[in-house]
Chain A
Amino acid sequence: MDNPTLQKIAISGPTLASLIQRFSTSSSSIDGLLFGHVTHVTPLNLTDDSSTTDSPTLLATVTGFLSSPSPSTTSFFDSSGTVNTSSLHRLLLHHNSSLLGWFSARRKTPIRPSMHEFSVTASLSSLSQFSSPIKNATQPSNFNPCIFLLFASPTSDHTAHIHTHEYRAYQFRRAGNSFEAKSIDIINIGPAFRGHYGSFSPNSMFPALDCEIEGSRMKEDEERLSRMKQAAKDKKELDDYAVGFEIGKLSKLMGSEAMSYTAGLEDLYEKMLVKIQNLTRSVENSSAKVLELENHNRKLKHKISRSAASE
């Protein structure tokens, strides 16, 4: 059975921004999975015009994604564009929100779905075992992962200083075997997005907490011990950053003492600035190292491909 027609695809500003950031910082193309939820929304059209129909709209909200450089060995599809269900299952293991579809981001290409992307989308949207329930639906119905988000940068980009990222959203229709372009709503905070709060469902991802008790063999204990040591070390490092920020001192900021505490406060801010500066410097250094390694890897790759071709 074909999926019901989506009226809109919504994505939160930060999710879109982080997707684009992932794309623009990767050295080549990337692709990955899109997560979120599909909801029936009754639009709150509080207009005097009574002619507006009150038919519920179907809205897909993208709340998260999982990306990998493409093409890679960790992909959920093979080179002919067929989805490999077992590797897809493996990727979904730690995700509790439902799969809506996938995205592809490729550099310097026309913003049209490619032959390969068509095959992957067709294959993915046919897998009803990965479908998710539609929320607020009048009768229980499911939604197959049929959303495709395409990102591309223009082919002729002579201005190296301006980064253009185009994106399009599609719903794949199995009935017509075709892509249907959908408009994208970018959700930000503000009165214009009030309607979205109705369909808001928090799905923050907490790291899996280590509180299992079963299995008390020595080896596991050792493992746990080392993990605890690591956690203690991490905590100490964090505490170092917080020196001078003790909760007790904060109470001085209130009441009659506050006036005489200005000097102390300024001192606090100064320390904070120094720490931030140190932090940025170490981030900068580590990014430089990462870039260096990436370039080195690229050179090695080209060397391999050259030697393979000359064989």
Chain B
Amino acid sequence: MGGVTDTVPPFIAAHLTHLLSHFPLTLKVQQMWSSDKYNSTLFDRFTLLIPYCLDFIKWDIIYNADSPSTAPDFIFGPEDCDFHPFHMASSVEPTQPNNSFNDWNYKDPSRLLNLVQYLRDQYVLYQRKRVEAVDDDRLKFEISTIISREGIEMHLTSSAEKPEEVKFAVPLMDMNINKMVPSCPWRYSQKIYLQVVYPVGRIYLSAPSAPRLKLVSSPELKALFSIDDIKLPPWLDGMCLAEYLPNLEEYLEKQVLEAVSLVDVRRHFIEALACLFGRPVEADPVFCRKATFLSASGVFTFLVHIIIPTQFPKQQPALMLQSSQHFNAQMAPIKSRLISDYPWSPRWEIPLMAERICEFLADEALNFKRQCSEGQLQ
């Protein structure tokens, strides 16, 4: 949000920067625009994308550049026309935030964050109520078994085109992945969720069909562990979530622990490479997924990029050579293709793996040199 301060009145910019940098979830500002007729460069309204139930909800936040001392107004999504955060029956009386509205202090940058947090909490309750009101016995049973999970979110989608569906985002495993990675760079807590989608309202079906299941993780987790490599255990007939989840969690926990232990294997591998190639020019110190070495074949010097998969050593690393002396027509250094078909065995000791790569590169360097001189001539 580099440009925020130029086009947004300072008091709004202060609220917004505080919100974006301190909110526990990754928020996005989709668009910003101005309400002013004459001066359309002063932005005082914006659309906020808030993560909810593995999807986003879109809220328009309406400030008034003309009267900075008034609290912003919110316009919720068109499908949430029944969501009235301050008029929710049987919820906790909104004494606290209501008061914060009454003595809204625009000089306090944390006000917007508190408000958005409160509104999102209310939204969680609102959706929960909607889902609980769905007349479906299986669903009611499933809810009763998983409602106690901390951080569970649910959503009832109803649109004219599609049949009604209830979506759950079930947080899996009570483990803090961030703490398991030494010197972890992640700002947000990494979690793995199981998305469970139940079709509802089809009473004529005699045997309830399996829900749609999908594992979802935050994109940053990919550096350690790819959720796509996980094969979900099958959903048996007549199964319920309370039966399904413990097995899945046990299995996932093993996978995560293994993924964490593989970081050290990769680190050893890079260290073994360093014995042969010298100190790496660049290396990923946390997840050990990448390393770059400087190498030479006679007078021909080149960089070797080594990309190590999370499944290492089962999967071999991919190599890419980059010349330090040859450039193409765009003045970019000439690079080889990604090489991952060289001799490899996952059963080799790690020093042997490094040695075999070194041997392979001695030959490959000559090929690459030829390719470079040809490439440069063209």
Residues of chain A touching chain B, judged by Cβ–Cβ distance below 8 Å, are 27-29, 71-72, 78-81, 106-110, 112-119, 122, 155-156, 177-179, 295, 298, 301-302, 305-306, 308-311
A28-B64, A109-B60, A298-B66 are known contacts. Are A115 and B84 too (CB-CB below 8 A)? yes
Specify which of A108, A114, A117, A309 is in contact with B33 (CB 8 Å cutoff).
Answer: A108
A109-B60, A110-B60, A115-B85 are known contacts. Are A80 and B68 too (CB-CB below 8 A)? no
B residues near A79, Cβ cutoff 8 Å: 70-71, 101-102, 104
B residues near A114, Cβ cutoff 8 Å: 62, 73-75
Total number of B residues with any Cβ neighbor in A under 8 Å? 40
| 8 Å CB interface, B346-371 against A | none
A71-B70, A110-B60 are known contacts. Are A309 and B87 too (CB-CB below 8 A)? no
Give the docked Cα–Cα distance between A27 and B75 (Å): 21
Contact (Cβ within 8 A) A112 B66: no
Please tell me if B295 contacts chain A, counting CB pairs below 8 Å. no
> Can you list 23 A-B contacts (CB < 8 A)?
A27-B36, A27-B38, A28-B35, A72-B67, A78-B102, A106-B62, A108-B34, A112-B78, A114-B62, A114-B74, A114-B75, A116-B74, A122-B84, A177-B87, A178-B82, A305-B10, A305-B68, A308-B11, A308-B107, A309-B9, A309-B10, A309-B14, A309-B107
* Top 9 closest pairs, chain A to chain B, by CB: A309-B10, A80-B101, A116-B73, A115-B74, A71-B70, A305-B68, A28-B66, A114-B75, A107-B35
A residues near B107, Cβ cutoff 8 Å: 308-309, 311
Give the docked Cα–Cα distance between A28 and B66 (Å): 7
| 8 Å CB interface, B18-76 against A | 33-39, 42, 45, 60, 62, 64-68, 70-71, 73-76
Contact (Cβ within 8 A) B37 A27: yes
Please tell me if B92 contacts chain A, counting CB pairs below 8 Å. no
Contact (Cβ within 8 A) A80 B98: yes
Please tell me if B86 contacts chain A, counting CB pairs below 8 Å. yes
| Min C-beta distance of A98 to chain B, whole Å | 26
Contact (Cβ within 8 A) B81 A302: no
B residues near A298, Cβ cutoff 8 Å: 38-39, 66
Look across to chain A and name the residue whose beta carbon is closest to the beta carbon of B34: A108
Give the docked Cα–Cα distance between A262 and B157 (Å): 77
B residues near A78, Cβ cutoff 8 Å: 102
Give the docked Cα–Cα distance between A112 and B74 (Å): 10
Give the docked Cα–Cα distance between A308 and B11 (Å): 8
Give the docked Cα–Cα distance between A110 and B78 (Å): 9
A80-B98, A115-B86 are known contacts. Are A302 and B42 too (CB-CB below 8 A)? yes
A residues near B102, Cβ cutoff 8 Å: 78-80
Contact (Cβ within 8 A) B84 A118: yes
A108-B35, A115-B85 are known contacts. Are A301 and B66 too (CB-CB below 8 A)? yes
Look across to chain B and name the residue whose beta carbon is closest to the beta carbon of A155: B33
Q: Which of A80, A81, A113, A306 has the most CB of B within 10 A?
A: A80
A115-B85, A155-B33 are known contacts. Are A71 and B75 too (CB-CB below 8 A)? no
Give the docked Cα–Cα distance between A178 and B84 (Å): 9
Give the docked Cα–Cα distance between A78 and B100 (Å): 12
Give the docked Cα–Cα distance between A38 and B62 (Å): 33
| Min C-beta distance of B325 to chain A, whole Å | 51
Contact (Cβ within 8 A) B76 A115: yes
Give the docked Cα–Cα distance between A29 and B36 (Å): 9
Give the docked Cα–Cα distance between A295 and B82 (Å): 40
Q: Which of B37, B81, B85 has the most CB of A within 10 A?
A: B37
Give the docked Cα–Cα distance between A155 and B84 (Å): 23
Specify which of A113, A122, A310 is in contact with B87 (CB 8 Å cutoff).
Answer: A122
| Min C-beta distance of A6 to chain B, whole Å | 19
Give the docked Cα–Cα distance between A16 and B106 (Å): 35
Specify which of A80, A108, A122 is in contact with B45 (CB 8 Å cutoff).
Answer: A108
Specify which of B14, B38, B75, B87 is in contact with A119 (CB 8 Å cutoff).
Answer: B87
B residues near A156, Cβ cutoff 8 Å: 33
Contact (Cβ within 8 A) B45 A109: yes
| Min C-beta distance of A208 to chain B, whole Å | 32
| 8 Å CB interface, B87-140 against A | 87, 89, 98, 101-102, 104, 107
With A27-B36, A115-B86 known, 11 other A-B pairs at CB within 8 A are: A72-B67, A79-B104, A81-B86, A107-B36, A108-B45, A109-B45, A115-B84, A179-B81, A302-B65, A305-B10, A310-B10
B residues near A80, Cβ cutoff 8 Å: 86, 98, 101-102
Look across to chain A and name the residue whose beta carbon is closest to the beta carbon of B82: A178
